[in-house]
Amino acid sequence: MENLTAIILFAISSTLTPGPNNIIIMTSGMNYGITRSLPLLAGICVGFSSMLLLVGLGLGRIFHLNPELYLIIKIIGVSYLLHLAWLIARSGGDTTLSDSSEPLSFIKGALFQLVNAKAWIVSIGAVAAFTSGGATFYNQTIILASTFFAVSFPCVGAWLFFGSSLRKALKNPVRRQLFNYTMACLLVISLIPTNTVITH
């Protein structure tokens, strides 16, 4: 890998910009707080880095040979994200509800990457852009996945802290409900550019 700086900058821009992962972790931070949302944060970061590693080790080749798999991911991913948006919108403004209910777990955060179209696009794009053939390919892939793993924690974590910082301001049930509706809408909107890329 000739330019680690470029990889780090790409990782920062990919994990810090709005997307399904960041919207979900911010919503979790607002509704459940930082501590209870840490397993979800870890699941997102571990899940995405693992996906990146798998793509580099050959999964990306499978998608290249079977482009119809993109359509399958698109359908499953959109359906699941719409379901999550519905759950977020329904979570309501009752602050006592968030105290008794549970945020998404580590496992769900990791498995969510499998239906996150943006995660697939970033993974395949990163492997294509920052690795080359030859004897060092697997080492390059490991470095790439490790870099994303290290970068994703503070970048995605920033969204968690931001969401948590809104808890006091959104103690009013009406404001909390409005926030959840807004996050649900943003989650749906985040599907548009990703699905356009997949389609084309």
Give the residue from 111, 107, 103 showing the smallest Cα distance to 80.
111
| pLDDT value, residue 107 | 94
Token representation of residue 83: 């379901």
CB 115 within 8 A of CB 80: yes
pLDDT in tens, the chain (200 residues): 457 888 898 899 889 888 889 989 998 998 899 999 999 999 999 999 999 998 888 765 666 666 676 667 667 767 777 777 777 777 655 544 445 478 889 999 998 888 887 888 888 888 888 887 666 778 888 999 999 999 999 999 999 999 998 887 777 778 777 877 887 787 677 666 544 444 43
Report pLDDT digits (tens) over 61-76: 666 666 676 667 667 7
For the chain, give the longest Cα–Cα distance: 59
- CA dist., res. 130 & res. 85, Å (int): 33
- What letter represents residue 200's amino acid? H
> What are the residue boundaries of the structural domains of the chain, listed by start?
4-199
CB 93 within 8 A of CB 175: yes
| pLDDT value, residue 86 | 79
